[in-house]
Chains A and B, each alone.
Chain A
Amino acid sequence: MTEKITPKREKLLANIRIQRFTPTFDRSPYFDNFKVDVETGMTVLEVLRQIKNTQDSSLTFRAFCRSAICGSCTVRVNGNSVLACSTQLMPIIKDFGKGTVTIKPMANLPVIRDLVVDIDPIIEKLAKMHPYLMENRQRIPETLEQESLMSQEELEAFNSLTDCILCGACFSACSSVKADKNYAGPLTIAKAYRFSIDPRDNFRCVRIQASMDQGLWSCVQCRKCIKVCPKDIRPADAIRNMRRIAIDDGIHDTAGSRRAKAYTDDVEKFGQVNKPMLPVIVNGTKGWTAIEAAEAYLESKGIEPTRQVCTLPGQDSAAKIYAEVRKIETQDKEKKDCD
């Protein structure tokens, strides 16, 4: 029995290639190579500590709890943002099939030294989201002895998001932050959403504005943040949800809201998105220019352009499904309003 559950102990000599950089001293980042005997179960953090203790005491990295809860040890290992303390090295070596593993600091943030980055840009963006409860007076109990209780269902709507440890792995992996340094990043919008749907809170509209100011519709839904999140909070889903409550609360006049409305309504009507007309639906009359350009292009290739939506045969099923979902969602809303 023991043999079955105990992993086979293995050991191999790996080359750990670490990015080094002291901005006040070095002209540009460079790599140092360290030979380390990596054993089954060894974490990235243990390897970094071993190198610091036995090979190069100047190697600089951040770490504290060793329990995946303080969120301070995020680095990139072979390009993927991970917590050094909860990521074992052996499976990575095997997955990539190479004896060399490259460790770099988090991306999208300025390097202070070696693997240590300045997380102030994240904190500044987060601060703008009002990441705290602003009291909803209707939920304040009448006496001091009572607590502001919520139902299990209310808690479940945001419970997993409270697991965020602000490690920044999602920020490091984010495609949109990489292309636009002003974009809020996954964790800050996820945090804004977490507080916005807390029934004890009354600051949702302000957070919707703050999210929009920091690019709520700039998230490209590449889903990398979901992949790297060590706490499985699914930030990209939280961003979709934040967009949903923004639209529900009346934010209809953005290209992103119009796109969401167009996709949802079109699939009900046609079983398909009305692609030929999407430029005008989303961007108003200036979309005609895009439509005309697309049509000219198709004609140049000998394809007859059309402004007719291409329906899909499942449109009858779509209509039935939409009708039923609408009924359920209306009932849920009425139940919520009664509560």
Chain B
Amino acid sequence: MIEQQYDDGKLHYAFYSGCCFQGTDARFFDILNQVFDKVDVKLHLIPDAICCGAGVIEERSELTSLAINARNMVGAEKMGLPFYTPCSTCFNVISNVQKRLAEDTKLFDQVNEILAKDGVEYKGNGKLTHTLWMLAQDVGLEKLGQRVTNPLNGLRVASYYGCHTRNPGDIQNYESSDNPTSLEDILKVLGVQIIDYDSSDNCCGYHINWPNKDLSLKMTSSVLQGAQKQKVDLMVTSCPLCFKNLDGVQENALAATKQDFQLPVLFLPELVGLACGMSAEDMKLDYHSVPVQVRL
């Protein structure tokens, strides 16, 4: 695996966008590029990506999910770059596929027979990463700290990983899944004060938004309520789907559970951008459903 074929001192990644960074959400792609430029990271879009299926395709055909996601990893293998996705669910699904195929040679061969019809071969030796570990380990906290020009001192922040970079533990070997610290490590470098709250390990309910809306709203509300009790200024999440849910569905979730408050939620790269001197306009914070009216 060639991790660096560019000689420009930057870190280069094959970028798997998932569904959160295109269409009406395309602004997030611009935000990522702007923010990562500040820390000398360059993203190269995987040209022939397929939706990972979010684990839902496995409810119809596991083999389809294995094959399309092996195909997605081939995209990065062909570019000779580490596979990076900012979406926790994409990371979870694709990392699980990589693990399954590494453990089962019969399945590995079968998937490669399928991919041969598309004229490609899956090697399975690529590195997969997510924003958390790209920033905390590849870029490094020291370098990130050097790029912070607008430390967000005094801001009371609830950190929220979401489920899919934590569970199960064997989808990543970057840090402990029982006691992850990458998100807090990054946030500390940005200068914020991290506030403990008891719903930090609750699931936000995004993935049952369709099959069981009422339950999903209840779960979304429980995460927000726990943070609100600690009087935080805002919540920051490393998962774009959790962000879409906790921000975009917040009003409905709190109304359904008879709660009356607003808690601004930020997607981690947005807060990194702000700390690195970018403006609320650059980070397009006015696109949020819940107004971000805190001192930044």
Residues of A within 8 A of B (CB): 78-80, 92, 95-97, 175-176, 178-180, 183, 215, 217-224, 226-227, 237, 240, 243-244, 247, 254-256, 259-261, 263-264, 266-267, 271-273, 275-276, 278, 282-283, 297-298, 301, 303, 305-306, 310, 312-318, 320-325, 328-329
Q: Identify 8 new A-B residue pairs, CB closer than 8 A, beyond the known A220-B207, A317-B50, A318-B68.
A: A179-B205, A220-B163, A222-B163, A260-B57, A303-B287, A317-B120, A320-B118, A321-B117
Interchain CB contact under 8 A, A313 and B163: no
A260 contacts across to B, CB distance below 8 A = 56-57, 59-60
A275 contacts across to B, CB distance below 8 A = 19, 23
**Size of the chain B interface, CB-CB below 8 angstroms:** 62
For the complex, give the distance between the alpha carbons of A283 and B212 in Å: 11
For the complex, give the distance between the alpha carbons of A266 and B58 in Å: 14
Interchain CB contact under 8 A, A314 and B48: yes
* B179 close to A (CB within 8 Å): yes
B279 contacts across to A, CB distance below 8 A = none
Interchain CB contact under 8 A, B110 and A328: yes
Interchain CB contact under 8 A, A226 and B168: yes
Interchain CB contact under 8 A, B178 and A314: no
For the complex, give the distance between the alpha carbons of A133 and B47 in Å: 50
A and B contact pairs by CB, cutoff 8 A, 11 listed: A179-B219, A180-B215, A180-B218, A218-B212, A259-B210, A260-B56, A263-B54, A298-B24, A303-B24, A323-B117, A324-B117
B75 to chain A, nearest CB (A): 8
Interchain CB contact under 8 A, B168 and A263: no
Interchain CB contact under 8 A, B68 and A321: yes
B286 to chain A, nearest CB (A): 7
For the complex, give the distance between the alpha carbons of A247 and B56 in Å: 12
Interchain CB contact under 8 A, B23 and A310: yes
A192 to chain B, nearest CB (A): 15
How many A-B Cβ pairs are below 8 Å?
Answer: 195
B168 contacts across to A, CB distance below 8 A = 223, 226-227
Q: Which residue of B lies closest to A254 (CB)?
A: B211
Interchain CB contact under 8 A, B215 and A267: no
Query: B18-58: which residues lie under 8 A (CB-CB) from chain A?
Result: 19, 22-24, 47-51, 53-58
* B222 close to A (CB within 8 Å): yes
Which of A78, A306, A310: most chain B CB closer than 10 A?
Answer: A310
Out of A175, A259, A278, name the residue touching B211 (CB < 8 Å): A259
For the complex, give the distance between the alpha carbons of A264 and B287 in Å: 30
Q: Which residue of A lies closest to B212 (CB)?
A: A218
B60 contacts across to A, CB distance below 8 A = 244, 247, 260-261, 263-264
For the complex, give the distance between the alpha carbons of A243 and B56 in Å: 10
For the complex, give the distance between the alpha carbons of A301 and B287 in Å: 6
* B177 close to A (CB within 8 Å): yes
Interchain CB contact under 8 A, A218 and B59: no
* B114 close to A (CB within 8 Å): yes
B163 to chain A, nearest CB (A): 4
A80 contacts across to B, CB distance below 8 A = 178
B262 contacts across to A, CB distance below 8 A = none
* B256 close to A (CB within 8 Å): no
Interface string of B197-218 (1 = CB under 8 A from A): 0000111011110111001101
For the complex, give the distance between the alpha carbons of A219 and B164 in Å: 14
Interface string of B273-296 (1 = CB under 8 A from A): 000000000000011010000000
A265 to chain B, nearest CB (A): 9
Q: A240-B58, A318-B68 are in contact. Are A306 and B212 (CB under 8 A)?
A: no
